[in-house]
Structure 1
Amino acid sequence: MSRISSIAVLLAILAFDADAASARAEDSPDGGRIAQRLLDTLRETNGVPGMAAAVWRDGRIIWDGASGQRDLASGAPVTRDTLFRLASVSKVFTVAAVARLAEQGRIDLDAPVQRQLPWLGANWPAITPRQLAAHVSGLPHYQPVDATRGSRRYATGRDAVAIFAGRDLLSPPGTAYSYSSWGYTLLGAMVEQAAGRSFPDHVAAEVAPGLAIRADATDSGDAHAARAYGFDQGRVIEAPRHDYSYTWGGGGLGGTASAVAAFGGRMIDGRVVRPESFDAMLVPVRLADGNLAGEDGYSVGFGWRIGVDSDGAAFVHHNGVTLGARSTIGLWRGERTAVSLLSNASWVSRMEPTAQMIAAPFRAVPAGLVSAPCPRGARRYSGTFGDSAVAGVVRFRLEQGLCIGIAEQHPAMRAYFGTAPQRTDAALTIVGLDARGGLARAGLVNPFGIADLRAQADGSFAADVTATRRLVLRFDQPGR
C-alpha cells in the first residue's frame, strides 16, 4: 500500500472516531437499513460504480436497494428501475422457458436436440435438452475463436447456433461437466422454434410477464439502462459495446434487481412452472460414472446450482459475469425467500455468500450464535489471514444501533486482494447485524464481497473471506 493510501485509511479511521459521539444507540434499524448499509459499504469498498439488490419473501418484494451511479458521465444514480446486464443469471430464465414448454408438450427434455431441430445438421452424438441445461452435453464454452462474438447482430437463435454447430464436442454427452454458454444458445434456439417468436419476447411474455426482464439494453439508449464498466488496475473504465444476440439464453438478458428477485419468488410459488417441475429441476444430475455434475461445492440440476448456505440451509442459485456485469440470484425455497444482487461492472467477487449476507437481516437468526458485545474500546486487532499472522488498527462505534468497525488492511490482505482489477485498498468494514448493538454476527465487507463474521466461543471472530482464506480476529480491549 502506498503512503498516500495508508494516510487515507488512517484519516478515515480518525473521521470515524469523530463521528462516533453523534451516533444514537437507541435507534433500532430494521432489516432494510442494515441491508442498505451493507450494499453501500460494499460498493464503496470495491469501487464498482453502481449496484442494486432486492429480497423477496412470502409473495412480495420486502426490500429493494440501490447504490451508486448507473452512468458516471451523466452522474445518473442507480434507482429501483435501473436495468442491469444479467449475464449468466439469464440461464435460469432459459431453463424456466424450456421447462414450461416441456409442460405444454412442445419440447421433449429427453429426446435428442437433433430430432427437435431438424435444421441443426451438427455431426454430434445425440444430445438432450436436459444435458444442455446441466452442462454435461460436451459442448464447449467460448473459445479463442469467439473473441469478437459481440461485434454483430444475429437475427435468430438459429443464426447464432451456426457459430459453433461445426465444432467438436469436448467429451461424449453425459460423461463430464463442462460449463457451456453455447449450450444455452442452443436451448434458446429450441425455445424460439417451439414458441414461434424471439427468445427475449417469449421470456417477457410467458416466463416473466409484468417484470422488468428483457433483452440487454445497455447500449440501446434506454434511459433506465446502466452503463457497462470494468477496471484497469483499480481505475474504472467504460466497457466496449457488446451485442448479446449470439446468446440471449446464455447471458443476454437484462433486468432490475427487484424483477430478478420476484422471478425467483414466482419460481418458489409455482407461478412459472408447476411445483413438481421445479422439484425435478432441483434434482442433481449424475454423470455416466455416477458422480454428481457440478463444481465449487455445488451440484447442478436443470440449470440451477444446488447447495447449502453457511448454516446448512438448502440454497439454490446462479451467478453471472460478463462485460459490465456481475450478478446473482439465490433462493431458500423452504423459507420462501429469494435474493438478487446486480452490478454494472465486472469485478472479482464471491457473489452468492455476499447475496446471502445482504438477505441475512430479513431471515431468522441462526441458532448457536455466541453472544458478544460491540468492542468499542478496541484500538488494534490481531489474528490470522489464511496462514499469515495479521495485526492492525481498528475502531468501533455504535451507528444507529449497529456495531460498526473499520479495520485497516494488513499487508498480507492487501497482497491477496490486490490480485483483482477493482479497487482493493479500502479498509475492511464490519457491519453488525444485531439491532441491539451486539457483535454475535456481522457482515465483513471486503474488496471481494461480504463475508459472514461470527463471534467464537474463545473470544475471537472468524469469517471465510474466500474458499481458501479464513480470517480470524481478536480485538484488544484495554482494561479488560
Structure 2
Amino acid sequence: MREKLLKMIVLIVLSTSICVAAKEAKTSVLSKNINTLIEEEIARSGTPSLQVAIGYESKVIYENAFGFSDLENKVLASTESKYRTASIAKWFTATSAMVLVEDGLLDLDKPIQTYCPQFPKKRWKITTRQLLTHTAGIRGYLDFPELIKNSSDPVQADLLRYKWVQEQLSQHTRYEGVTQPLDLFKDDLLIFQPGTDWSYTSFGYRVLACVMEGASGKKFQLLIDDSIFKKANMGSTIADDAWAIIPNRVSRPYVGLACRVAFCLTNLRLALMCCRLEKPQAPSDFKITGNYPI
C-alpha cells in the first residue's frame, strides 16, 4: 500500500508544474490533488491516519495530515502529530554511524567488541560494516509459533516458549541504555558466517547502537541529536519514552523514536541534498560483497 501511494504521489508531482508548486505551496493544484488522493486512500484502506510532506530545493512546500491520531478518542491527526518511526530509525542510526566513520572515530572493519565488549565474541569476527548491511549473521525476529509447532523435542519446545515470552516482553520494556536489550539474543548462535549471506535484522542494529556509543563516547540519543537532528532541523524528533509527557504523540503500543514523520524525513532528505549534514557520502571503500538488498 505504501509503495503504491508513494508512486501515485510521485506521478502527481511529475505531472504538476513544480515551479508553481514551489511558489504557491498549499494553494496549488498539487496540494488539491494530493489531498484528494490521501482522502481516497484512507477511505479505501481504513488506514487510521497519514502525514504527507514534499520538499523542493531547500524547503518544504507541502505538509498535511489526514485521519485520526487516536481512533479510540477521535483525536484528529495534524502536522504536529508525532508518530513512532519504527524501523525508519535505522536510517538515522546508519547515517550517524557513517558520520563517526568520517570523523575517524569508528573503523568499519574492526571487530565490534572493540567498541561494544558487552556483545560476546562468536565463532567468526563481526564488523560494523556487516552490522550496517545486515550481513553479520545475527538473527532477526523468529516465528516462534511455527518453530514450537514443528518441534519434536518437548524440552526444546519449552525453551522456545520461554524465549517467545521474553521477546514479547522486550517489545514493551522501557530500557534505559543500549546494552540491556542485547541480553535477549547476544548468546544465540549466528545464523551464518558473517559476510557470506544477508538477513534483515533489527537485533543487529541494537548491537550497532552499542558500537556507536563505544566509538563516540556519547549516549546514543545525544549522538543522534548532535549528528543528525540538530543539523537537519528535525527538532520535533525525540525519544519515544513511555514515561515522558510528549505533546501530540500518536496513540501507540511501543517505544522508539517519535517525530512528525513526513516533515522530519523530508527535512532529512533536504539536509542531505543541501549538505547541512557534513560529509554525508560513504567512504570510497565502503562496499559489501554480493548482491544484497540494502
TM category (shorter chain) comes to 0.7 to 0.9
In 1, the alpha carbon distance for the partners of 2:82 and 2:242 equals 8
8 Å contact kept, 2:170–2:181: no
**What TM-score results when the alignment is normalised by the length of structure 1?**
0.47
Which protein is richer in strand relative to its size?
Answer: 1
Query: Is residue 150 from structure 1 mapped to residue 150 from structure 2 by the alignment?
Result: no
Q: Which residue of 2 aligns with 1:168?
A: 189
Q: Which residue of 1 aligns with 2:98?
A: 99
8 Å contact kept, 2:39–2:66: yes
In 1, the alpha carbon distance for the partners of 2:284 and 2:56 equals 19
8 Å contact kept, 1:218–1:227: no
* Structural mapping, 1:32-111, within 5 Å: 32-111=31-110
Measured after TM superposition, the shift of residue 286 of structure 1 is 2.5
Query: Is residue 266 from structure 1 mapped to residue 271 from structure 2 by the alignment?
Result: yes
Q: Using a 3 Å threshold, how does the CA distance of structure 1 residues 167 and 89 change in structure 2: closer, same or farther?
A: same
Query: Is residue 255 from structure 1 mapped to residue 254 from structure 2 by the alignment?
Result: no
Measured after TM superposition, the shift of residue 81 of structure 1 is 1.0
* Structural mapping, 1:38-437, within 5 Å: 38-143=37-142, 144=144, 145=163, 146-209=167-230, 210-211=233-234, 212-216=236-240, 220-228=244-252, 241-242=253-254, 244=255, 252-256=256-260, 257-277=262-282, 285-287=288-290, 292-294=291-293, 300=294
In 1, the alpha carbon distance for the partners of 2:282 and 2:122 equals 31
Instruction: Name the SS of the counterpart of 2:67 in structure 1.
Output: strand
Q: Using a 3 Å threshold, how does the CA distance of structure 1 residues 267 and 195 change in structure 2: closer, same or farther?
A: same
Q: Using a 3 Å threshold, how does the CA distance of structure 1 residues 185 and 195 change in structure 2: closer, same or farther?
A: same
In 2, the alpha carbon distance for the partners of 1:217 and 1:72 equals 21
Q: Using a 3 Å threshold, how does the CA distance of structure 1 residues 159 and 217 change in structure 2: closer, same or farther?
A: closer
Q: Using a 3 Å threshold, how does the CA distance of structure 1 residues 221 and 176 change in structure 2: closer, same or farther?
A: same
8 Å contact kept, 2:130–2:194: yes
Measured after TM superposition, the shift of residue 164 of structure 1 is 1.4
8 Å contact kept, 1:136–1:177: yes
Q: Using a 3 Å threshold, how does the CA distance of structure 1 residues 216 and 79 change in structure 2: closer, same or farther?
A: same
Measured after TM superposition, the shift of residue 43 of structure 1 is 1.4
Measured after TM superposition, the shift of residue 96 of structure 1 is 0.7
8 Å contact kept, 2:115–2:215: no
Amino acid at match of 2:61: I
Measured after TM superposition, the shift of residue 122 of structure 1 is 3.2
In 1, the alpha carbon distance for the partners of 2:211 and 2:240 equals 20
Measured after TM superposition, the shift of residue 217 of structure 1 is 5.2
Which protein is richer in helix relative to its size?
Answer: 2
Instruction: Name the SS of the counterpart of 1:162 in structure 2.
Output: helix
Instruction: Name the SS of the counterpart of 2:64 in structure 1.
Output: strand
In 1, the alpha carbon distance for the partners of 2:284 and 2:65 equals 32
Amino acid at match of 2:212: V
How many residues align? The count is 242
Measured after TM superposition, the shift of residue 57 of structure 1 is 1.9
Q: Using the aligned pairs only, state the percent identity.
A: 23
Amino acid at match of 2:268: F
Amino acid at match of 1:32: S
In 2, the alpha carbon distance for the partners of 1:171 and 1:129 equals 16
Q: Deviations over 1:36-70 (max 9, x none)?
A: 22122111211122110111121111111210111
Rg (Cα) greater in structure: 1
8 Å contact kept, 2:95–2:280: no
Measured after TM superposition, the shift of residue 157 of structure 1 is 0.7
Measured after TM superposition, the shift of residue 74 of structure 1 is 3.1
**What TM-score results when the alignment is normalised by the length of structure 2?**
0.75
Amino acid at match of 1:112: P
Amino acid at match of 1:253: L
Measured after TM superposition, the shift of residue 95 of structure 1 is 0.3
Measured after TM superposition, the shift of residue 32 of structure 1 is 1.6
Amino acid at match of 2:86: A
Q: Deviations over 1:206-230 (max 9, x none)?
A: 21113122222577442211113xx
In 1, the alpha carbon distance for the partners of 2:244 and 2:228 equals 23
Amino acid at match of 1:79: S
Amino acid at match of 2:107: D
Amino acid at match of 1:36: N
Amino acid at match of 1:173: P
Amino acid at match of 1:90: A
Measured after TM superposition, the shift of residue 199 of structure 1 is 1.9
Measured after TM superposition, the shift of residue 139 of structure 1 is 0.5
> Unaligned 5+ residue runs, structure 1?
1-27, 229-240, 245-251, 295-299, 301-480
